[in-house]
Structure 1
């Protein structure tokens, strides 16, 4: 998150600085059109970069090593590939709109208020509603092409600004899932939600693991015996167990083992709904 925020602020400030240095002297009526089209185009290109985020990260780590600085630079490299160009145009566009909003009665304050309100509404609209509904790819595409609806005027060769992002959408891959797949493995299931992305990955030996945000491994079939013991040992040690509460269901393998004990009511709590939805992929290991 820190890397993404740093790149976002860097790109925005660079775009604003360049506009203040050069762009504000441009009197062309097409300037806003060009800036908005630039945002749309670079947002689409950012989706391509997001698709290649894992190879970019792996190449950076291979070149920089496993030091903390190497990890930080690799994360910054991925964030820069995705966000730097769009945020550059966003910074320039924001500066242009603020300058255009100047009025004796305080137009800049009104513009800043509307911008802040939009920034407050957007996470709920896109992150909470659209992302689980249509997925990250089409949410990002919708945002990218939405800038084209704001173009104040289009004529002549600038129709290409309209056509280029739309054409690139058809070149996008079927999905932009950022998931590390082992050699000979496959992606069994992938779900995106408000809190996390959840992937079920199968390796060449047909063992499956559950990954959250491509970073946290939440158990798998290869370690099923160890996960069974996490339920059996405490329940067997208790003289008369009646109820068991498991925090974090993951694959459901431990919960399934607890359910085998007679006269014991086993309950599980999971914060990520998509994890629960992926549990059937771990049958029969979780006895579901």
Structure 2
């Protein structure tokens, strides 16, 4: 995959290795929704290592269901595809996926290492209703009807009816022996994000998961713990006594009497003149 951030693990084709777990009675759980193609397995393993006393329940949802689950409180957070409505949801982008075109193995384009949008100009390209790439219409010739789901579109490609452009993880998820895919350039890409219901600040468990997906270590002071430390008052350092507390403070001579500095005051001194000679009488 491409993008500024790395995707989780190696993005296996199948569903996450971690199955949805039912929390024990009375134990608070963190409920994580995820859309097809996203594999939270790596992050779930880290969660179980760091918070073994807090069960993580996985909830598989369709792209159409994902945001409703967050708004209605059915899930505490979700691994979704952008864009996200920022009016009532918060989100942080995680990674960007490579876009591929799914084709029959015996198709002419299977001989190429990658395909451009222009290469699809004469091809029938399907545009399912649950499209995740966010374009108004794919390159190529449009079909008379749009398949309802990506899974339906895959079946049509296998039947020799058109091609399909999708994020690479969805091509892997719907893998078939009679189909293959090639990287598709010059087209939109899908970005995966972590999202949760908007609030003044993220709930504690959501903050914990944010730290995990961002790669923070157990001892990291970023996030909520750092803010807590900022609020703590630091002990005042012991101040050294100032020169004002010493006799003669503020004097460069250490407080010596003025007479001593000048060699004697008026009417005082040894009565000797310059060079130590006695002064003459007038």
Q: How high is the TM-score relative to the length of structure 1?
A: 0.24
| Larger relative contact order, structure 1 or 2 (CA cutoff 8 Å, min sep 6) | 2
* Larger of the two Rg values belongs to structure: 2
Q: How high is the TM-score relative to the length of structure 2?
A: 0.24
| Structure with more helix by fraction | 1
| Structure with more strand by fraction | 2
